[in-house]
Amino acid sequence: MASPFEELTGALTVGGYKVGSLVARVTPGFLAQGTVSLLAPGIALSLREKRGMFERHLRRVNPTISRFALRQLSQQAFDSYMRYYAESFRLPSLSRRHVDRMFTVDGYHHIEEGLER
């Protein structure tokens, strides 16, 4: 059974996702992305454990990485996740045609060439 604190944090998380989804649906795309860019650094700082995990993984890949570069790369990871969530929240309000237009498949001609053989 979850503790009262765990229940509260769970409810706040779900509520946050619901609010984020609603705001993303009614906000123009360019404004949503600008807001995400402004919020991402603060969110990254508030999630110290996750930031630490990113930095540990990055340090494993490159043990000689400078502290500045490590911070930059971990922030880029948070920026990417925030952009992912903002775009995911907006999906229900977008037409199928709009979503199809937004996708590109780089190198698909290689698949087509392989299938022709």
Q: Flag whether the pTM goes above 0.75.
A: no
Proportion of the chain above pLDDT 70, given as a percent: 100
**CB neighbour burial string for 26-58, b if at least 16 within 10 angstroms, e if fewer:** ebeeeebbeebeeebeebbeeeeeebeebbeeb
Dihedral sign for Cα 39, 46, 23, 99, please: positive
Residue 73 has pLDDT above 90, yes or no: yes
The overall longest dimension of the chain from CA atoms, in Å, is 62
Res 44 pLDDT > 80: no
- Indicate the domain borders of the chain: 4-116
For 15-26, write each residue's pLDDT tens digit: 888 888 888 888
What does the pLDDT read at residue 113?
A: 92
